[in-house]
Amino acid sequence: MEAPTIDVIVPVFNEAEILELFYKRISALGLPLNLIFVDNASSDDSAHIIQGFSGATLIQHDINEGYGGSLIDGITYSHNDTIIIIDADCEYPPEAIPDILEALQTNDVVYTSRLLIHPPPNMPWLKSLGNQIISGLYNVLFGQSTTDLYTGCKGFKRHCVEGLSFKRKGFEHVLELACLLSRRGYRIVDVPVNFEPRSTGNSKMSHASETLKFLLLILFYAVTTRNEP
C-alpha cells in the first residue's frame, strides 16, 4: 500500500467491543490512511486493542479530556493535507470515507449528513429535533446550509484549520470548529451517510443538555467571532 496521505482521527472512549470491527472495516477500504486513535482515558481494554493495530498511532489521555480534547490532540498530531474525523463506534460507517474524499476534491470542508438519507435514520426524535434546531440556527447566523451540524464524521483540508486556536474540549468543540471555519469563509458541503445506530456500549452525549448549551454558545460565537480571519 502507498504511503499514508490522509490523516484519520478517531476519538475513542470505552469502545473495546467494537474497535476490532471498526479497524477491519476501515482497513478493508484499501486507502492510504494514517489512523490516529485518541483514547480518552478509557477504563476498558480500548487502548490495549488499538496497540495491536498495524500502522495505527495511539494517543492516550491519562484523564478524560472530553470529546473536543481528543479531536484537538488528533489535529495537532496530524500532518497530511487531508484530515478525516470519524467516531470509532461504527455508527458512521467507515465506508463513507471514499464519498468524503471524493467531495474534498472540489471542496474544502465536507460533513456527512444523516438527514439526507430517505427514509430518515432511526434517530431518537429529541436528538433529531435538537440537531435540526441547532443546524438551522447555525445556518441563519453563519450563512451556511448544512443539515447535520452534530455529525461525528467529516473531512477538511489542513489549511482550513491552520492557525486556529481551539478552546472548547467538550462536545461543544463541534460547534466551535464549525463557527471558526465559517468565519474563515469556508463553505460546508454535505454528503449523505447511512447512519447505523450503535449496537454496543452507550452514547457519550447527553443530547438535551448539550442542545441547550449549543443554543447559548452559538449566539456567543455569532457575536465574538465576527472579526475572525
Categorize the per-residue pLDDT at 200 as very low, low, confident or very high, splitting at 50, 70 and 90. Answer: low
pLDDT over threshold 70, residue 208: no
C-alpha dist (Å) from residue 125 to 113, 129, 208:
16, 6, 11
pLDDT tens digits for 81-115?
A: 999 999 999 999 999 999 999 999 999 999 999 98
pLDDT tens digits for 121-163?
A: 677 777 788 888 999 999 999 999 999 999 999 999 999 999 9
Classify 143 as helix, strand or coil. Answer: coil
Domain 6-224 belongs to what architecture? Alpha-Beta Complex (3.90)
Domain extents in the chain: 6-224
Rounded CA separation 21/147 (Å): 28
pLDDT confidence of residue 198: 63
When pLDDT is averaged across residues 54-82 and rounded to a whole number, the result is 97
Sequence-distant (≥ 6) Cβ neighbours of residue 134 within 8 angstroms: 149, 150, 175, 211, 214, 215, 218
pLDDT cut 70: percent of the chain above it:
91
Mean pLDDT estimate for the chain: 91
Conformational region of residue 30, where left means phi above 0, alpha means psi within -120 to 50, and beta covers everything else: left
Rounded to two decimals, the pTM is 0.91
pLDDT confidence of residue 1: 53
pLDDT confidence of residue 7: 98
